Amino acid sequence: MPQFTLSLSRLLLFVTGFCLIFLSTTYHALAQGHTSSFKVVAFFTAQRDQAHISFVQEANQWFSRMSATHHFSYDTTSNWTNLNEAFLSDYQVVLFLDSRPEDPAQRAAFKTYMEKGGGWMGFHFAAFALTPSAYPQNWDWYHNEFLGSGSYGSNTWRPTSAVLRVEKQHPATRHLPRTFKSSPNEWYRWEKDLRTNPDIQILLSIDPTSFPLGTGPKQHEIWHSGYYPVVWTNKKYQMLYLNMGHNDIDYEKGTNKTLSYTFENEVQNTLILDGLLWLGGKKQERRK
């Protein structure tokens, strides 16, 4: 009888120990699964155009939701003085949601960050440059080398959906159909022909079935033909530019109500998310 009691005690100790190890291992695995795999910071201005303000607000909400389910951290700032070496060193990917830095020191810090392998995703107005305007083309490295697009040329109006065509297989496009319909957007034409730049890989362009694109009322804001890249990357940097980022707004009636939302398109959302995960993953590989 004493022998049986001893064996039972040992069995209980073994089972208890096993359960503690199992629970500890399970907790560790769950904790690891929810650890941020990379860190993202989004810079924005969100001051002038209601269409851009609407997009920034929507983007910050969407990226925050995605960070919770895809295990990256997402921070935002409208303080462009944070665009410095010390601040950027904590992040693997930087987003420009609606504008660019204007201060020479901020521009230099961003250039150094990208040359050292940082990741960047820019939307719509982040590539805008027009001389003369409030955003002149006074940053050659960014507009001519990094983006490759040069100055802004023209745009469609009003914001309308376009059929987009995948031009190249890439981690950002791997889950996309050959063509798909985008969210409504104001589409840009650029000074430079990106097809002639060997460093630029055009990932998506406007499919000809989209024409006529735009509704006017100005006739030159309705496109009837031409080649228009809308998403591209530069092989010399870890970057992705997307021309999306202009929600439709009720300017005419003066309500400034948002009439369309960029992130209400699941196929387009897949492009943005896959692009971001690619940028974050690339950075992590380089740090190993």
The string of DSSP letters for 241-260 reads EE------B-TTTT---B--
User: Tokens 């955003």 map to which residue?
Assistant: 135
Look at the chain and report how many structural domains it folds into: 2
Q: Are residues 171 and 210 in the same domain?
A: yes
- Domain CATH number, residue 104: 3.40.50.880
> Which pLDDT band, with edges at 50, 70 and 90, does 20 fall under?
very low
Asked whether residue 228 falls in the same domain as residue 252, the answer is: yes
**Residue 214 confidence (pLDDT) above 80:** yes
Asked if 46 and 7 sit in the same domain, the reply is no
Q: What are the tens digits of pLDDT across the range 164-197? A: 999 999 999 999 999 999 999 999 999 999 999 9
Which residues of the chain form beta strands (DSSP E)?
A: 39-43, 73-77, 93-96, 119-123, 152-155, 163-166, 179-181, 188-190, 200-206, 229-234, 238-242
Q: List C-alpha distances in Å: 230 to 87, 167, 222, 245.
A: 30, 11, 16, 11
Same-domain status, 51 and 179: yes
210-246 residues labelled b (16+ CB within 10 A) or e (exposed): beebbeeeeeebbbeeeebbbbbbbeebbbbbbbbbb
What's the domain range around 130? 39-287
Considering the domain architecture, whether residues 26 and 163 belong to the same structural domain is answered as no
Inform me whether the pLDDT recorded for 259 exceeds 60. yes
> Within 10 A of 285 (CB to CB), how many other CB atoms are there?
9
Do 152 and 14 reside in the same domain of the chain? no
pLDDT of residue 285: 44
Q: Does one domain contain both 144 and 216?
A: yes
The encoded tokens of residue 192 equal 């430079």
**pTM score of the predicted model:** 0.87
Quick: pLDDT tens for 93-122. 999 999 999 999 999 999 999 999 999 999
Looking at the fold, whether 129 and 2 belong to one and the same domain comes out as: no
| 18-32, 63-77, 174-188, 223-237: least confident range | 18-32
* 44 and 30 inside one domain: no
Residues 43 and 116 in one domain: yes
**Whole-number pLDDT of residue 12:** 41
Mean pLDDT confidence for 269-280: 98
Residues 216-228 have a mean pLDDT of: 97
Q: Which residues contact 66 (CB under 8 A, 6 or more apart)?
A: 72, 74, 273, 276
Contact 63, 70 (CB under 8 A): no
As a whole number, the mean pLDDT across the chain is 89
Report whether the peptide linkage leading into residue 132 is cis, meaning its omega lies within 30 degrees of zero: yes
Give the CA distances from residue 183 to residues 6, 52, 73, in Å, rounded to whole numbers and listed in that order: 71, 14, 26
Mean pLDDT of 207-226: 97
